[in-house]
Each structure stands twice: as C-alpha cells, then as structure tokens.
Structure 1
Amino acid sequence: MVTVLDTIDQKRRLRHPEKAHRPDSEILKKPDWIRVKAPVSKGYSETRDIVRSHNLVTVCEEAGCPNIGECWDKKHATFMIMGEICTRACAFCNVATGLPTALDREEPENVGKAVLKMGLSHVVITSVDRDDLADGGAQHFAEVIHAIRRISPGTTIEILTPDFLRKEGALEIVVAARPDVFNHNLETVPSNYLKVRPGARYFHSIRLLQRVKEIDPTIFTKSGIMVGLGEERNEVLQLMDDLRSADVDFMTIGQYLQPTRKHHPVLNYVTPDEFKSYATIAKTKGFLVVASSPLTRSSHHAGEDFAKLRAAREALHASRT
C-alpha cells in the first residue's frame, strides 16, 4: 500500500541531511498501526490550492506529517509562519536549517485571508525558530493573531511557539495577543536533549509554559512529546509531573518517525496499548485533555480537542462551586 510517508520521501531527501550531523542509520520497518493512505481526495487538493494561492507554508508539508491526507481533506491545515528555514538543527526535525530570509510583512494578512477562505473554526499557527531576530519572532506571531481576529473573528486560535530562548520580553508580547491555546512542545525527555534538541533547554521550556499561566490564567496551555527516541517509561511519567507542576492543561504523545537516514533513528515503536496506558496515567495526573496514540501530532484534531478543553474546564469549575 502506498503511504503518505512513501509519497513524500523524495521531497525529504532533498532537504538538509547534514543538519543532524549523523551517519546514515538503519530505519526500522514501520508497523501496520502507523500506516496511512496517500492524500488523493478533492478536499486535499482544494486545501493545497488555497495554501499555494496565498503564498503560505504549512508544517503539514514541511515536517512530512502522516496525517496530512486526513486533515487537508477536512480543510484543516497548520500554518508555519516566518519562512521555511529554521535557525536550529534538531535531530528529529525535517524542516531545513540555515540562514532565514526576511519576514514577509504581508504574511499576517495572507494567513487571515486563508483562514477565512477555508472556513476554519479553529486554526493552529506554528513557526520555525528565529534566533536571528531580536524578539525571536514574537511580534510577528502577535500580528498574525491580530490579523486572524480581524479577518475571521469567529475563529479560535492555537499557537505552537518556539522557546524564545534568551529573548527577554518575547513571551509577554505573544501572550498579550491572547491566543486561545498556547502550545510549546517539550518534544522529548530531558536526558535526550543534548542529542535530540541541542539548541533548547528542558527547564526553560517548562518555565515558559508556567509563565503563560502566570500572565494570563485564562489561556489554555499545551505541550507534547514524541516517544521512540530511547526514553524510559519512568522518564515520561516524570515529564508529565513537570508539566502539571507548570499547570499545563493538555498533553499530546505521539510516535517519532524518522524523516531520513541522516536524522535520529527510531529506537522502538510504542504499541497502541502502551499509548493508552500513558493516556490513562496522564489523566489521573490532572491534565484536562490527553491525546496519546501512534499518529498523534500537536495539531491533529486540534479543533475537536479545543472543544474538549473548554468542556473539561467548565466541568471542573462546576465541580468546585
């Protein structure tokens, strides 16, 4: 069966394999539970045309998401702002690394127009890391949020941000724009950071999420990790506790899939039953919503999950009154 991952393999090979600084590694055979069909639907084509006509970039394509066929068929897309080139070289990521281009000042307006044209009730906005900018791109994030609010006021907004490491005041700029959901992914357990996410700092990311709640407790916070990178189960459980100590509302857990042989290898495939176990434990730890499955990604079913977040918060408040 032709899969999404097979379909985009050629594109991945054209990216920057040197970014991970690894020799070719053996790619484990994918189990049946993570195989998905290639995107061929009319809805997929219509979404692709809207993205192209507004000169936009999506993380769906850039990161080779296995859910692209399903999401684009429903006209759901995650927009990636501030260009296609990242200033960091994470060993798991298929986005190109290098010197980014100047910001597109028309991008906020174009994103807003695309959101309206696609009729999105909920949209996810992410970005590359822009360590080259004084504010890490915080003001650009705010401008995109403001443009969507103005052009498509009925749309709720979820952002998936970089860590704004060493960019004083950047987080405050983004939070002041009042997104409905603030997502920042930890990606993996702290013991993996030097080899998987070397440009980031685990406890800085935890503090970033905690700070969002301190500034504006009404904003939902969210974070996600990949498994299959050599983490131990007890490390994942400790990470859950760290997120809850920062009052994070929503956690996602998905299977890491190796983009190319130059990237960090998949060390194991976590079974669907293990994902269910993680979900059960995470719920007992107090997360309002947990998404845990092999194909879970940060923005997969984001609109439906946002509705669950609101309902869970309302139920929690009702139980305390």
Structure 2
Amino acid sequence: MTDQFHLGHDLTIGRLGFGAMRLCQSHPGGPARDAESGRAVLRRAAELGVNHLDTAGFYRAQDGSVTANALIREALAPYPDDLVIATKVGPVFGPGGPRQATAAELRPQVEADLESLGLDRLDLVYLRIGKTDPPRGESLAERFEVLAALREEGLIRHLGLSNVDTGHLAEARTIAPVAAVQNHFHIANRAETAVLDACEQAGIAFVPFFPMGGGRTGLDDPALVKVAERHGATARQIALAWLLALSPAILAIPGTGTVAHLEENLAARSIRLTGEDLADLA
C-alpha cells in the first residue's frame, strides 16, 4: 500500500489528510470552538506531515465567530511548499436554509476562498451539488463550466466534484479534467462503490467525507471491534486503515477539533491490515 497519491498527476500528497469542518464547532449548530485550539490542531497536523487540507468557505461557527479558512491562514501561512488546500463551492446558506448556488454565484465563492485563505490560486476546488444524496439525473454542466473557465484563468489548479454519481462524473469530464471526487463513504456506508471504481480506473482521487460515519454511524460493529483488538488499535483507526487499504485512489480526510484525536487518527497510517482483517471487514 502506498502512502502517497499524485493528485491531478502533479501534486504529491499523503493519503491521510485533514478535514477542517470540525475546527469551528463540534457539530452543526453547536457552540463555537476555541480558535486557538483550532490553530493548535492545524500546526500539529503540519508537524506530523499532513499536507492535504480540506476546507470550505461555509465551514464556520453558527455565529460566524470562527471560520476554518481564517484558522488555516492564521496557523499555517506562509504555507509550506508541499501543502495542498482543497475547498468546495456550491452550497449557499441563508435565512431560508441551504440552497444550491447558481452558476453566476460560483465565481464570487471562489474569489472569497482565495481572499480568506490568502492565495492567488486554489489547488483544488470541488463543485458540491445536492444535499445529503447525489441528485441523480440533474445536470451540473452549466456550473462546472464556470469552474472550468476559472481554471483556464489560472485561479484554480485542479477541479473536483462532490456528492455526485457516475453520470455526473462522466458529464463533467467532457468539460474539463476531474482530479478528485468527494462523496459520502465509510466502512458502514459503501453505497458509492461504483463511483470509487470509476475514479480508480481513471486515476482520480476518491475522497470520502464522513470517513468514520460523521457521528451518524457507530463504530461498534463486532467485526470492526475484533480487528481493532487484534491490532491494539481503536475502531476509528481501523475504519481509516480500511479505507486506505480498500483502494489506492482513496484519500481520507478525518476531521477533529482536538490534538489528541488528531494524533489518534494519524496513527492509522502505520496500521497494515492483513488479508484476514480485510476478509473479516468485507
């Protein structure tokens, strides 16, 4: 198993990265986390060799007092040369609840991310569509064309898709190269295996969001517990190690707001699951 992935064939990153969503609040609608704690997590991640951060302009505390992009800039700028920062655009949050951005609203979202992160070019921008499940049958062409144009302008290096099915992926690839797909996927939710397979065949990164269930799924499956005990590890660590063992195209981005959980997650890099382990988890 290789520990690195060549994103877009020109950016080499570790396959276990960091998702920034939980830096601002422990759960949606919860109280804001302490900003200095978030900066400490980011600095420790960098110390431990993490060079793939996943963020979004809408990752923020409900009261707006803490934002993931600001924490990243404050903690890590000037950025290390090998750091890859991925962000996503598409959702719009307002008094009426979340909605999808129109094509015309995407450029301002990209520009806002550039400004808040202090960058001239974003390494990877995902177009996020739908809500909890991929909106099957919905065209993304008009919106993806906007991002493709921004890539041609040099504001974006690589393009990605989030919450999509294989039809969306095929449609987008007729417009511009796709470097990564970010979908809901973990050991207890394997519904997007067809998308993973398509990504692996095409050399596209597959980046599960909620790689350990996102609090929606317990990690108390007997087989998972059995394998964890065999390795002297936690169920969380085995869930991450399983993702990395499943496909060389998978990049995991577990998130946390504490240094202790960060270090626990990153220790999964050293776990090598055996054939017996994988059979138990199948």
**Aligned AA for 1:152?**
G
Percent sequence identity over aligned pairs: 14
SS in 2 for 1:156: strand
Deviates more, 1:241-250 or 1:202-211: 241-250
2:199 aligned with 1:208: no
Matched with 1:169 is 167
2:242 aligned with 1:252: no
Output one character per residue of 1:9-46: Cα deviation in whole Å (capped at 9) or x when no partner: 9x947xxxxxxxxxxxxx9xx8x9992369xxxxxxxx
Q: Report the Cα distance in structure 1 between the residues aligned to 2:170 and 2:126, rounded to whole angstroms.
A: 17
Q: Report the Cα distance in structure 1 between the residues aligned to 2:255 and 2:35, rounded to whole angstroms.
A: 12
Shift of 1:61: 3.1
Unaligned runs of 5+ in 2: 1-22, 41-55, 80-84, 226-234, 274-282
Shift of 1:238: 5.4
Higher relative contact order (CA 8 A, sep 6+): 2
Matched with 2:181 is 182
TM-score w.r.t. the length of structure 1 is 0.47
CA contact (8 A) 2:39 2:72 kept: no
2:92 aligned with 1:83: yes
Shift of 1:185: 4.0
**Aligned AA for 2:191?**
H
1:258-297 to 2 correspondence within 5 Å? 271-281=261-271, 284=272
Q: Report the Cα distance in structure 2 between the residues aligned to 1:209 and 1:144, rounded to whole angstroms.
A: 25
Unaligned runs of 5+ in 1: 14-26, 39-56, 86-94, 191-201, 258-268, 286-321
Q: Report the Cα distance in structure 1 between the residues aligned to 2:214 and 2:90, rounded to whole angstroms.
A: 28
CA contact (8 A) 2:57 2:113 kept: no
Q: In angstroms, what is the RMSD of aligned CA positions?
A: 4.8
> How many residues align structurally?
205
Matched with 2:141 is 139
Shift of 1:106: 1.4
Matched with 1:150 is 152
**Aligned AA for 1:84?**
F
Matched with 2:126 is 125
Shift of 1:144: 3.5
Shift of 1:162: 0.7
**Aligned AA for 1:211?**
A
**Aligned AA for 1:221?**
F
SS in 2 for 1:251: coil
Output one character per residue of 1:204-263: Cα deviation in whole Å (capped at 9) or x when no partner: 22321221222x22x333234247833246465356435643442422222389xxxxxx
SS in 1 for 2:59: helix
CA contact (8 A) 1:124 1:157 kept: yes
Matched with 1:319 is none
Q: Report the Cα distance in structure 2 between the residues aligned to 1:251 and 1:124, rounded to whole angstroms.
A: 17
1:1-321 to 2 correspondence within 5 Å? 5=24, 12=29, 35-36=37-38, 58-61=57-60, 67-73=68-74, 74=77, 78-84=87-93, 100=99, 103-111=101-109, 118-130=119-131, 135-136=137-138, 138-152=140-154, 155-164=156-165, 169-176=167-174, 177-186=176-185, 188-190=186-188, 202-214=189-201, 216-217=202-203, 219-224=204-209, 225-226=211-212, 229=215, 230-232=218-220, 234=225, 236=236, 237=238, 240-241=241-242, 244-255=245-256, 271-281=261-271, 284=272
SS in 1 for 2:92: coil
Output one character per residue of 1:90-149: Cα deviation in whole Å (capped at 9) or x when no partner: xxxxx9866x46x52313444565677740241333425256966445324522331222
TM-score w.r.t. the length of structure 2 is 0.52
Output one character per residue of 1:152-203: Cα deviation in whole Å (capped at 9) or x when no partner: 16x3225350144xxx7222113443123333342x541xxxxxxxxxxx22
CA contact (8 A) 1:226 1:256 kept: no
The alpha-carbon distance between structure 1 residues 141 and 135, as it changes in their structure 2 partners (threshold 3 A), is farther
Q: Report the Cα distance in structure 2 between the residues aligned to 1:171 and 1:239, rounded to whole angstroms.
A: 25
Q: Report the Cα distance in structure 1 between the residues aligned to 2:24 and 2:111, rounded to whole angstroms.
A: 30
